Amino acid sequence: MGRIQLKGVQKKFGDVEVIPPLDLTIEDGEFAVFVGPSGCGKSTLLRLIAGLEETTSGTVEINGEDVTMASPSSRGLAMVFQSYALYPHMTVRKNIAFPLRMEKMDPAEIEKRVAVAAKSLNLTDYLDRKPGQLSGGQRQRVAIGRAIVREPSAFLFDEPLSNLDAALRVGMRLEISELHKRLQNTMIYVTHDQVEAMTMADKIVVLQAGVIEQVGSPLELYNAPRNKFVGGFIGSPKMNQIEGEAATKRGCTTLGMRPEHINMSPDSGEFKGTIGVAEQLGSDTFFHVHIEGQEETVTVRQEGQVNYKYGDTIYLTPVEDRVHKFGPDGLRIA
């Protein structure tokens, strides 16, 4: 069981309000991802849940129990840190066993649990090494091992993959998703990478300046972003947002077009533009198109390998039923 509920939780550092009062519920077994740009308060929110930071006001409840004043260890949560935070002077075995030793668990049981965790994380051969002798990915696995042996009611991940290289990141992403499917535990995952959020989450919580902008499943956020910020933040490459005539004639202030929802033609279309930089990925091509009267380029995704040259004249037309309309207040117009 791991239902986490935040009621009117607020955090101030001195006079600076990092998180204005907010409410949020994470259901048992859910994989929730807090996503937002750096400094949006997502890590602070996680630390408030963990108990590493004290709330200024409001309550944190785990399984219906008020834990606002409880110590981090008594909340029954396990955390994986960005820096892994392994104990450098202990072997892998001792690192994983540490929380159990603190619980004064029977040594035979500790040994058993460590062995099981090590096996599931492919760490059996490294149990007698120290963290300094491991690669980044292995250290990350030790940190996860230290979390799973406790059998916590929820896992907290604070940007756990940002210190890994790109290839390893994808692998570890899958491993964590796999772990969630297997354990069915509540997991809260903090990241600034919207791709991680989209691929892993059951529920995404988009934050900006400590305020929850939207909560929903990845596809809900992708298909119906509540405002301009969420529209621009979720999806890669990011949504094109243009103002002016094209927007007013559709009855909105800002028109949002995802790169994959724009048709491109050399002959005719709604917007006339010239090709700027083209990014060839093999499977797709991203064109950055300069449109008259628009300051920012419009990104267009074309499937496969499309050959337009720099400076070519091109016409763009948005796919009408996939455009997003935002009003003067930045909110979505239904």
Which ranges constitute the DSSP H helices of 103-210? 107-120, 136-148, 166-183, 194-200
Which residue has 């979390």 as its token pair?
A: 147
If 0-12 CB within 10 Å is exposed, 13-18 middle and 19+ buried, where does residue 136 land? Answer: middle
**Stretches 17-25, 99-107, 161-169, 316-324: which one binds other proteins (CB under 8 A)?**
99-107
Which residue has 């790169």 as its token pair?
A: 259
**Contact track, other proteins, 110-149, x by CB under 8 A:** ------------------------------------x---
**Least Cβ distance, residue 112 to other proteins (angstroms):** 19
**Minimum CB distance to other proteins smaller for 14 or for 64:** 14
Residue 196 backbone phi and psi in degrees, to 5: -60, -45
Q: Which of 29, 58, 68, 85 binds other proteins (CB under 8 A)?
A: 85
Please tell me the total number of residues recorded for the chain in this structure: 334
Q: Which of 31, 34, 98, 326 binds other proteins (CB under 8 A)?
A: 98
> Cα(202)–Cα(28) distance, rounded to whole angstroms?
12
Q: Tell me if 81 contacts other proteins by CB under 8 A.
A: yes
Q: Tell me if 102 contacts other proteins by CB under 8 A.
A: yes
Which residue has 């009408």 as its token pair?
A: 320
Residue 127: both structure tokens together: 């149990």
**Stretches 25-33, 34-42, 83-91, 181-189: which one binds other proteins (CB under 8 A)?**
83-91
Number of residues counted as binding other proteins (CB under 8 A):
24
Q: Tell me if 103 contacts other proteins by CB under 8 A.
A: yes
**Minimum CB distance to other proteins smaller for 146 or for 324:** 146
The torsion angle over the Cα atoms of residues 71, 74, 79 and 81, rounded to 10 degrees, is 30
Q: Which of 9, 32, 46, 77 binds other proteins (CB under 8 A)?
A: 77
| Closest CA relative to residue 73, chosen from 152, 7, 127, 161 | 152
